[in-house]
Amino acid sequence: MKEYFFDTYAVIELLRESHSYAPYLNEQIRITLLNLIEISYITLLEQGEEAAKRVLGWCKEFVVDVPDVVIMAAVTFRAQNKKKSLSYADCLGYAFARQHDLIFLTGDDAFNRMPGVEFVK
């Protein structure tokens, strides 16, 4: 059975009711606090403050605790891939997924064909 870590891109696509992400509607969502901040910000820009507050309330239950070992793995991964201009949120989520045997669900082109990634556009 597949288990996922949803990056910001994946959650935003779910919120937009993207056809491509419909198969993931019933999957358990896992995100970091950084993803929650990005999701709330994007929603604020696109739909306004009230929508952002609703999304914040809905998404905060999906936030996982991130141990120091994952933080170090994330910054190391970012340093090793600095030419790709990956965000800290993406690196943290990817490192968390790898450390917890989860599939990193994303449509971010920078992660296409990386190990442990399910790439969906």
Q: What is the pLDDT of residues 36-45, one digit of tens each?
A: 999 999 999 9
pLDDT at position 85? 87
Mean pLDDT value across residues 1-7: 95
Mean pLDDT value across residues 6-14: 98
Mean pLDDT value across residues 13-41: 98
CB-based contact 104:118 (threshold 8 Å): yes
pLDDT in tens, 44-98: 999 999 999 999 999 999 999 999 999 999 999 999 999 998 999 999 999 999 9
Nearest in space to 11 (alpha carbons), one of 58, 77, 74: 58
**Rounded distance between C-alpha atoms, residue 11 and residue 30, angstroms:** 10
- Its pTM stands at 0.96
- Cα dihedral 114, 117, 118, 121, rounded to 10, equals -60
Q: What is the pLDDT confidence band of residue 1, given thresholds at 50, 70 and 90? A: confident
Q: What is the pLDDT confidence band of residue 104, given thresholds at 50, 70 and 90? A: very high
**Rounded distance between C-alpha atoms, residue 20 and residue 22, angstroms:** 6
* Class of the domain covering 4-119: alpha beta
